[in-house]
Amino acid sequence: MTRCFSAPPAGFEPATPALNDTTMLLGLDGVSVARVERLADGTRRVHLVTADERARACPACGVFATRVKSSATTRPRDLPYGERGLEFRWHKRRWWCREPGCPRRSFTEQIPQLPAGARITMRLRGAAGRRIRDAASTVILE
């Protein structure tokens, strides 16, 4: 199948919040911090939303979706940040593909740092790989 990347439709308004200081501090390209909450044990739960409009492109045909089917929340893991670390909740959307001939009827948002089905960020995967390479150690990602 040939990939045909179309531009977002005219007048499309992104549903994600503007870049904020917390999002810049996190430094995870493609998502924006919607809010942060502190749990009873001191862990910080970071609620993320997709900030990269390319996440609306169907992975099968490349056409930009315009109709939301539903939403999903995932819990990807990332590098530790501070003593307690961070717990992520990525609130992403499931889209309907608008290309009639596409074999993929719907899909969830994905970004380069968090590909579809990934449970850890690419930067955590890279850090674990470097640790194994440099220290010849085993890394268990809990």
pLDDT beyond 80 at 119: yes
What are the angstrom distances between the C-alpha of 43 and each of 38, 79, 86, 110? Answer: 6, 14, 6, 25
- Identify the pLDDT of residue 14: 46
8 A C-beta contact, residue 73 and residue 50: no
pLDDT in tens, 87-101: 999 999 999 999 999
Length, in residues, of the chain: 142
pLDDT beyond 60 at 9: no
Model pTM greater than 0.85? Answer: no
Rg of the chain on CA atoms, in Å: 17
Tell me, what DSSP letter sits at residue 49? Answer: E
Q: Is 108 helix (H, G, I), strand (E, B) or coil?
A: strand
Percent of the chain with pLDDT over 90: 51
pLDDT beyond 80 at 68: yes
pLDDT beyond 90 at 67: yes
